[in-house]
Structure 1
């Protein structure tokens, strides 16, 4: 490629590339499934780090800042912005097979006249990224690591996992899957930290990482994790929808999934000694603040705020339930896989919209349980007529299976479970309003139910 010499960061510096990329990224980023600020105008894009992975491909960390947003008190606050990981390819001409990767054509700056695209969608880039992981080492601020006990063969054909998610995943030869985190926060990502710790506990419910990469600039942060891929597995969401479409019961699977969840929680409790969680009052305050912020952003939520507050207020005097511990943090049917008769739990990143420190802190395991119960409701509402009894049976079976392994029954922690389910439904309302407005009626139906005392 005759023009790729200008990609050398030592010659372009760290500011000049944005003269070519700034306007292109400002338009392209909000269109991406994993971009968190769709409801907040981008006010500035700043280049935090740039490394040339190979000629024609740059690894970038870009900070997107946003306009002020309203706060529950009636004022405004300016978010600090979000950092995103990008692999940017630059060529004179883009192959037609990479049409969906197109970002645009640079009109000015060091890349003027060149085509800019998302290199993670390019098989060549995906192949070279795996080669970096196969040969651990350092490239500028990027550090590549692998488990020496697990050989990574060469020549594994890459393919993009074409599914809705908040990151980008590449499957290599149906043997490994690489999750490339898009939204980057300083610190060790739980999706690396937790599976490593669970592997040391001998927990077979979670695939152990075999390689990963991180950055030290501008701060230490995890960038991606490679794990074994289960080619014959199906995710829980797909299995649930198939059962619904065939009119089949799903309670046996839900019961086993409850047992698997308890297995993971027990292993997490052993791997990460528990700490003191916030008391019921502090938890109720935090949940109420999230509710009020969501109601500002989603008008449909406002008529139910008063009723939903009662679920959180009950936390002050209710049974605190099991001890706080590390949990999954974003558990639902899309985060579990069934291979044969076994359930596996994946994606320990937690809710990407929440701060990393919060996602790595201890919480009640009831939070995970509430997430899965909400997922059964989501599945049941994908078909018409809605089958609430299907969701109710799954919820009962899941909790019963959990109780067999854990030694306590989530259904007997009614106030606690209601509060966490309400908090989850509020999160879902905000998420759907921002990303999938057509799905908003699903969590709103739960909001209507949960707003009634005892719902």
Structure 2
């Protein structure tokens, strides 16, 4: 029997109590730069009847949020309703008389219940659709731990064996990650990813499917390569400022040798993944296809339209205080002309022998898990801001290469900006360190490219090099849009990246 006789609020009432500011502050919410127009409960799976008797109520809620002038988007919210006065983790919001609502990601009972339902392969009815739990052949555990929430989804470690990823923003259709993971499991030739253990999906009354949760076996690791790179660069900056006060345009190779070994291994892992995805005899959804001039023209058109929309958004904003961002804003008309001119060079390339296949789509250092001396690849969802069809599309494997090379450049500036903030650098000192790190970035890119192309059996001629340079620019422009919506303080990084890419392509 419940411990309270207070009427339990409906889940729709609980969702209505969540303030717009809470959504906009969440790492997983996309439209941070927009005002929230409406918040509406679309469907809910109330797990309370499956729990032991008590005051607490748990649910998996699907919530539609409309922001700015954009189309409403669907989000996954695990929620907890409990009597006022209970001290749960995170922010709580009053719901009616005597109740509060909060996010339930840290609730052991929620994850224990989900694992049980996965292991049983249950399908449960919501109000407007069905929730399907796929097989999860592991025991029921209750110990859970929320992992660092620095991505657009939420990761929960269940005991020390399983990581559940809650996909917060929900485009219609099966998750690319779920489809890719099943493909790799069946192929058996690429094993550098944590094994898939289970999933939760939702099907609405119209038959549209949504992937809500993906569960993977936990792999012992030393963290991701993004944080590993930042740590390396921080230590290296400390070494340089202590022992080499003068300006050095190229870093000593021996100072980066251990890191370069990791880069070579990562290049081999990525090449193995791409060879698996471009093998002959695959099913239609994965079968590789030749790249044609029409593909290049279509990609050029897509890049041009996307860049124009992003630069229009930039033009209507404020430049901020950082010199790199101010310079970009001041030269915006010139930047626009150069970016579009660079993209147009795609149509002049000759793609004979080039192949397109399924790719990771959002490959960067944060998607690489350090496992001993090896590298595992994570998160095959594709770029968060791209439409669902684009995240399933076939593309040149160089798209992933471009994403990683941009990530090295990103790490360089992230480390440099953090160092500048900690040490209040003069403009001259900042320029000296920027010069040194640029040398490191060039060295890392060279090592990665040489190893990757050798593993793929490709010769990096002028055409492939120019194609890769344009893909790097496309990624940098995408980064600009991403940071506007998620981390405005990081805008100087893609601004610098775009200028570097343009210099490489147009020799400006």
Fold in common (TM above 0.5): yes
CA contact (8 A) 1:195 1:207 kept: no
Q: CA deviation at 1:405?
A: 1.6
Gapped regions of structure 2 (runs ≥ 5):
50-56, 237-254, 316-327, 420-432
1:407 equivalenced with 2:457 (yes/no): yes
Cα deviation 1:357-380 (Å, max 9, x = unaligned): 210111111111110000111112
1:265 equivalenced with 2:274 (yes/no): yes
1:326 equivalenced with 2:358 (yes/no): yes
Aligned equivalents of 1:157, 1:19: Cα separation in 2 = 30
CA contact (8 A) 2:108 2:142 kept: no
SS of the aligned residue for 2:357 comes to coil
SS of the aligned residue for 2:156 comes to strand
Match of 1:274 among 272, 288, 298: 288
Cα deviation 1:91-129 (Å, max 9, x = unaligned): 013543x342x241124xxxx431000011223323322
Distance 1:411 1:27, change over 3 A: farther
The aligned counterpart of 1:209 is 196
- Aligned 1:287-302 pairs, distance under 5 A: 287-299=303-315, 300=328, 302=332
- Aligned 1:322-361 pairs, distance under 5 A: 322-361=354-393
Aligned residue pair count: 428
SS of the aligned residue for 2:360 comes to coil
Aligned equivalents of 2:79, 2:178: Cα separation in 1 = 24
CA contact (8 A) 1:52 1:59 kept: yes
Q: CA deviation at 1:322?
A: 2.6
TM-score normalised to structure 1 length: 0.89
The aligned counterpart of 2:401 is 369
Q: CA deviation at 1:60?
A: 1.2
TM-score normalised to structure 2 length: 0.80
Aligned equivalents of 2:218, 2:68: Cα separation in 1 = 40
Aligned equivalents of 2:474, 2:468: Cα separation in 1 = 10
Aligned equivalents of 1:339, 1:36: Cα separation in 2 = 31
Q: CA deviation at 1:44?
A: 2.0
Q: CA deviation at 1:327?
A: 0.1
Distance 1:319 1:174, change over 3 A: farther
Distance 1:233 1:196, change over 3 A: farther
CA contact (8 A) 1:47 1:62 kept: yes
Aligned equivalents of 2:301, 2:380: Cα separation in 1 = 26
Aligned equivalents of 1:3, 1:58: Cα separation in 2 = 20
SS of the aligned residue for 1:215 comes to strand
Match of 1:85 among 43, 53, 76: 76
- Aligned 1:216-227 pairs, distance under 5 A: 216-218=203-205, 219-227=208-216
Q: CA deviation at 1:283?
A: 0.9
Aligned equivalents of 1:390, 1:163: Cα separation in 2 = 29
- Aligned 1:251-262 pairs, distance under 5 A: 251-262=260-271
Distance 1:319 1:129, change over 3 A: same
CA contact (8 A) 2:81 2:101 kept: yes
Q: CA deviation at 1:90?
A: 0.5
Distance 1:58 1:415, change over 3 A: same
Aligned equivalents of 1:116, 1:342: Cα separation in 2 = 43
Between 86-95 and 365-374, report the one with greater CA deviation.
Answer: 86-95
Aligned equivalents of 2:214, 2:271: Cα separation in 1 = 25
SS of the aligned residue for 1:24 comes to coil
Between 199-208 and 362-371, report the one with greater CA deviation.
Answer: 199-208
Distance 1:274 1:25, change over 3 A: farther
The aligned counterpart of 1:73 is none
Q: CA deviation at 1:244?
A: 1.7
Between 428-437 and 379-388, report the one with greater CA deviation.
Answer: 379-388
Distance 1:196 1:4, change over 3 A: farther
CA contact (8 A) 1:24 1:106 kept: no
Distance 1:3 1:90, change over 3 A: farther
Q: CA deviation at 1:168?
A: 0.6
Provide the alpha-carbon RMSD of the alignment: 2.1
CA contact (8 A) 2:346 2:467 kept: yes
Cα deviation 1:140-195 (Å, max 9, x = unaligned): 11110125xxx312225210012311011111222111101001111110111101
CA contact (8 A) 1:174 1:231 kept: no
Aligned equivalents of 1:235, 1:307: Cα separation in 2 = 35
CA contact (8 A) 1:199 1:206 kept: no
Aligned equivalents of 2:183, 2:5: Cα separation in 1 = 46
